[in-house]
Amino acid sequence: METGELNHYAARYKAELLDNIIPFWTKHSPDMEHGGYFTCLSREGDVFDTDKFIWLQARQVWLFAMLYNEVSPKTEWLHLAIDGAEFLKKHGRDTSGNWYFSLTREGKPLVQPYNIFSDCFAAMAFGELYKACKSNEYRQIAVDTFHNILKRRTATKGIYEKQVPGTRPMMNFALPMILCNLSLILEDVVGNQSIEQQVTELANTILSTFYQKESGLILENVSPEGHFVDSFEGRLLNPGHSNESMWFLMDIGTRFKRPELIQQATDILLRTTEYGWDKQHGGLFYFLDIKGHPTQQLEWDQKLWWVHLETLIALAKAYKLTGNTACRDWFETVQDYSWKHFKDPDYGEWFGYLNRQGEPLLTLKGGKWKGCFHVPRAMFQLWRILEA
């Protein structure tokens, strides 16, 4: 950090990652009997449900492989990643190579491959693990899955799509957003050249199609031509999603030397954080309607861990890359809120779901959607950004 003002926080994030978060997952999460991980963990770390959700299995494989690659080549971490990968390899796909959404503890398929993000996180997992152990089998799974995602990208839900085609087509922000991140992770795995072209296109799609100039905000769903659609889906804002994608764009801007991309991402990040902040109770809203109408999502006013942690990563990166002091100020505000409300003072890991007032709504440390991913990734990212 050029100004040196925030790097005293680096040690705090490093310690939180290595002394609190990772030990929680290495202790409570491994399924010694059937392989893979338990992710539904109570406040104290007890397993309350044994189903295995592909998103969370794959994200945990990625996380431990990434720690092995980026922090320290600990055998324990590599073994944990391989144990999850073997479970996924054996049970995770249907006969066409599509990744299921969830499995039983033993690995029997429960929910069909209707959700392409299962595939995205699987590609991310096997790509990162290939870098760790150079297994060509893992590399091939990553490459095949990545190509399958690209093949399915215009009709991601396949036969499970409930929208009637043609009436009011819309594009969703999530896939291009996640592909930005996934493409960089897989750069050395699938080959550099195609990746550079692809991320350039993805960044353009986000900034020309989903970005709305008048409001300065990212829309979650737009028409294929990038127009606003006045419907529940079309009016939807997801500040956490938008902020997370801004640090993906900053990474692309850094990797391919595009300072104007970093600048634009910083502007959108600041605008979104200001817009999404709850002036009454603090914290960032989960969902908003751009016209101020009621959202479909009843959980709109809740404060979610990943929204705040992804925003912190983006603000820290933006400050480091641009020196814009508004990023530093917002970083301090979001950081204060996060440590005060999400960190559990009595048990390991962080709370995930708070009500609008900032009190725990669910005291779980892991569930169907919260696993070993956003908290440790953020701790790692913030440690490295802030110490530099």
Smallest gap, in angstroms, from Cβ of residue 139 to a copy of itself?
Answer: 28
Burial 249-284 (b: 16+ CB within 10 A, else e): bbbbbbeeebeebbbbbbbbbbebbebbbeeebbbb
Question: Per CB under 8 A, does 153 bind a copy of itself?
Answer: no
Name the token pair of 311.
Answer: 């925003």
Smallest gap, in angstroms, from Cβ of residue 363 to a copy of itself?
Answer: 7
Q: How far apart are CA 9 and CA 67, in angstroms?
A: 20
Which of residues 9, 25, 101, 351 is near a copy of itself by CB under 8 A?
101
Question: Per CB under 8 A, does 163 bind a copy of itself?
Answer: yes
Q: What burial class does residue 134 get, using C-beta atoms within 10 Å of its C-beta: 0-12 exposed, 13-18 middle, 19+ buried?
A: exposed
Give, as ranges, the residues between 301 and 340 that touch a copy of itself (CB under 8 A).
301-302
Question: Per CB under 8 A, does 108 bind a copy of itself?
Answer: yes
Which of residues 5, 12, 30, 111 is near a copy of itself by CB under 8 A?
111
Strand partners, 211: 218
The residue (of 172 and 355) whose beta carbon lies closer to a copy of itself is 355
What Cα–Cα distance (Å) separates residue 291 from each residue in 17, 286, 295?
39, 16, 10
Quick check: helix, strand or coil at residue 274?
helix
Give, as ranges, the residues between 50 and 79 that touch a copy of itself (CB under 8 A).
51
Residues 6+ apart with CB under 8 A from 221: 170, 171, 172, 173, 229, 233, 234, 236
Report which residue type is found at 357: Q
Residues 6+ apart with CB under 8 A from 248: 177, 180, 181, 184
Question: Per CB under 8 A, does 29 bind a copy of itself?
Answer: no
Which of residues 30, 45, 109, 282 is near a copy of itself by CB under 8 A?
109
Question: Per CB under 8 A, does 114 bind a copy of itself?
Answer: yes
Question: Per CB under 8 A, does 100 bind a copy of itself?
Answer: yes
What are the start-end ranges of the E strands in 230-345? 236-237, 288-289, 303-304
Q: Which stretch binds a copy of itself (CB under 8 A): 31-39, 123-131, 206-214, 349-357?
A: 349-357
Give, as ranges, the residues between 252 and 311 that touch a copy of itself (CB under 8 A).
291, 293-296, 298-302
Site string for a copy of itself, 203-242 (x = CB under 8 A): ---------------------------xxx----------
The residue (of 42 and 263) whose beta carbon lies closer to a copy of itself is 42
The residue (of 127 and 234) whose beta carbon lies closer to a copy of itself is 234
Question: Per CB under 8 A, does 155 bind a copy of itself?
Answer: no
Residues 6+ apart with CB under 8 A from 192: none
Sites of contact with a copy of itself (CB under 8 A): 40, 42, 48-49, 51, 100-101, 104, 108-112, 114, 159-160, 162-164, 167-168, 230-232, 291, 293-296, 298-302, 353, 355-356, 361-364, 367-368
